[in-house]
Amino acid sequence: SNKARKKKKKRKTKKNSAGETVEDNDLEDILSLLERIEDPRLAPQSQGGISADSRPLLYVEHRNLNPENELKRYFGARAVLGDQRPRQRQRQYVRSMWLTAPKNTWPRYSKTGITMQLLDTRRGVQHFTFEHHREYQQVQFKFLDAVESMDPNNIVLLLQMNPYHVDSLLQLSDVCRMQEDQEMARDLIERALYSLECAFHPVFSLTSGTCRLDYRRPENRAFFLALFKHLMFLEKRGCPRTALEFCKLILSLDPENDPLCVLLLIDFLSLRAREYTFLTRLFQEWESHRNLSQLPNFAFSVPLAYFFLSQQEERPELERSQARERAARLIQLALIMFPSVLMPLLDHCSVQPDARVASHPFFGLNAQISQSPALNQLTSLYVGRAHALWKDPAVMAWLEPHVHEVLRMVEAQDALVQEAEHKRKIRYQSAPRNIYRHIILSEMKEATAALPLEVTSQPVMGFDPLPPLDSIVSYTRPERMSHPSNESTLSLFFRSLLPNFNLQGDIRHDGDDEAGAAQDLNQGVNRLMAAMRDMLANIQFQEPPRDDNPEGDGDWD
**What would the pLDDT profile of 511-542 be if each residue is shown by its tens digit?**
445 455 555 555 555 565 565 555 555 555 45
- Alpha carbon 75 to its chain centroid, in Å, reads 26
Residue 235 shares a structural domain with residue 280: no
Taking only the tens place, the pLDDT of each residue in 352-383 is 999 999 999 999 888 888 889 999 999 999 99
The 3-state secondary structure of 342-369, one letter per residue: HHHHHHHCCCCCCHHHHHCCCCCHHHHH
Distance CA 252, CA 361 (A): 42
Q: Is the pLDDT of residue 13 over 60?
A: no
Q: Are 372 and 429 in contact (CB under 8 A)?
A: yes
CA distances, 492 to each of 83, 177, 489, 501, 509 (Å): 65, 39, 5, 9, 21
Which residues are CB-contacts of 102 (< 8 A; sequence separation ≥ 6)? 94, 95, 109, 194
Residue 392 shares a structural domain with residue 361: yes
In this structure, is residue 196 part of a structural domain?
Answer: yes
Average pLDDT on 68-84 reads 76
Q: Is the pLDDT of residue 487 over 80?
A: no
Taking only the tens place, the pLDDT of each residue in 496-516 is 545 444 544 444 444 445 455
Q: What is the DSSP letter of 122?
A: E
Residue 127 shares a structural domain with residue 253: yes
R_g over Cα of the chain: 31
CA distances, 534 to each of 147, 310, 499, 501, 537 (Å): 31, 81, 13, 11, 5
Average pLDDT on 485-490 reads 52
In this structure, is residue 173 part of a structural domain?
Answer: yes
H helices of 83-239, in order, are 84-90, 134-148, 152-161, 166-178, 182-197, 218-237
- Alpha carbon 484 to its chain centroid, in Å, reads 40
H or E stretch including 493? helix 489-497
Residue 246 shares a structural domain with residue 316: no
In this structure, is residue 18 part of a structural domain?
Answer: no
Residue in 350, 310, 351 with CA at minimum distance from that of residue 328: 310
> Residue 9 — pLDDT band, cuts 50, 70, 90?
very low
CA distances, 502 to each of 145, 335, 535 (Å): 19, 65, 15
- Say which range, 54-58, 141-145, 228-232, 441-445, has the weakest mean pLDDT: 54-58
Determine the 3-state secondary structure of 147 from DSSP. helix
Q: Is the pLDDT of residue 122 over 60?
A: yes
Residue 248 shares a structural domain with residue 293: no
Residue 221 shares a structural domain with residue 284: no
- Number of other residues whose CB lies within 10 A of the CB of residue 220: 23
Q: Is the pLDDT of residue 125 over 80?
A: yes
Q: How many residues are recorded in the chain?
A: 557
Q: What is residue 476's predicted lDDT score, i.e. its pLDDT?
A: 92
Q: What is the DSSP letter of 478?
A: P
Q: Which of 374, 407, 431 is the last residue in one of the domains?
A: 431
Q: Are 391 and 348 in contact (CB under 8 A)?
A: no
* Residue bearing the bigger pLDDT, 488 or 60: 60
Residue 127 shares a structural domain with residue 210: yes
Which residues are CB-contacts of 26 (< 8 A; sequence separation ≥ 6)? none
In this structure, is residue 251 part of a structural domain?
Answer: yes
Average pLDDT on 216-237 reads 96
Q: What is residue 450's predicted lDDT score, i.e. its pLDDT?
A: 86
Q: What does pLDDT average to over the chain? A: 82
Residue 221 shares a structural domain with residue 279: no
Q: What is residue 166's predicted lDDT score, i.e. its pLDDT?
A: 97
CA distances, 552 to each of 326, 520, 543 (Å): 80, 59, 19
pTM: 0.77
What's the structural domain count of the chain? 2
Residue 184 shares a structural domain with residue 325: no
- Number of other residues whose CB lies within 10 A of the CB of residue 158: 21
Average pLDDT on 269-284 reads 97
Distance CA 538, CA 533 (A): 9
Q: Are 273 and 244 in contact (CB under 8 A)?
A: yes
In this structure, is residue 554 part of a structural domain?
Answer: no
> Residue 492 — pLDDT band, cuts 50, 70, 90?
low
Distance CA 154, CA 112 (A): 19
Residue in 333, 285, 368 with CA at minimum distance from that of residue 50: 285
Q: Which of 411, 431, 451 is the last residue in one of the domains?
A: 431
Q: Is the pLDDT of residue 17 over 70?
A: no
Residue in 385, 383, 373 with CA at minimum distance from that of residue 424: 373
In this structure, is residue 188 part of a structural domain?
Answer: yes
Q: Are 204 and 125 in contact (CB under 8 A)?
A: no
Residue 333 shares a structural domain with residue 188: no
In this structure, is residue 222 part of a structural domain?
Answer: yes
Determine the 3-state secondary structure of 59 from DSSP. coil
Q: Are 181 and 159 in contact (CB under 8 A)?
A: no
Residue 173 shares a structural domain with residue 294: no
CA distances, 399 to each of 326, 341, 545 (Å): 13, 13, 74
* Residue bearing the bigger pLDDT, 480 or 128: 128
Distance CA 235, CA 188 (A): 17
Average pLDDT on 542-554 reads 50
Residue in 490, 487, 489 with CA at minimum distance from that of residue 505: 487
The greatest distance separating any two alpha carbons of the chain, rounded to the nearest whole angstrom, comes to 110
Taking only the tens place, the pLDDT of each residue in 285-328 is 999 999 999 999 999 999 999 999 999 999 999 999 999 999 99
Q: Which amino acid is at 479?
A: E
Distance CA 181, CA 188 (A): 11
Q: Are 293 and 374 in contact (CB under 8 A)?
A: no
Q: What is residue 234's predicted lDDT score, i.e. its pLDDT?
A: 96
Residue 244 shares a structural domain with residue 294: no
In this structure, is residue 155 part of a structural domain?
Answer: yes
Distance CA 135, CA 294 (A): 47
Taking only the tens place, the pLDDT of each residue in 332-356 is 999 999 999 999 999 999 999 999 9
Q: What is the DSSP letter of 391?
A: -
Is the torsion defined by CA of 171, 176, 177, 178 positive or negative? positive
Q: Which of 431, 465, 490 is the last residue in one of the domains?
A: 431
CATH of the domain at 140: 1.25.40.10
Taking only the tens place, the pLDDT of each residue in 378-433 is 999 999 999 999 999 999 999 999 999 999 999 999 999 999 999 998 999 889 99
Q: Which amino acid is at 209?
A: G
Q: Which amino acid is at 509?
A: H
Average pLDDT on 32-40 reads 47
Residues of the domain holding 142: 56-77+113-260
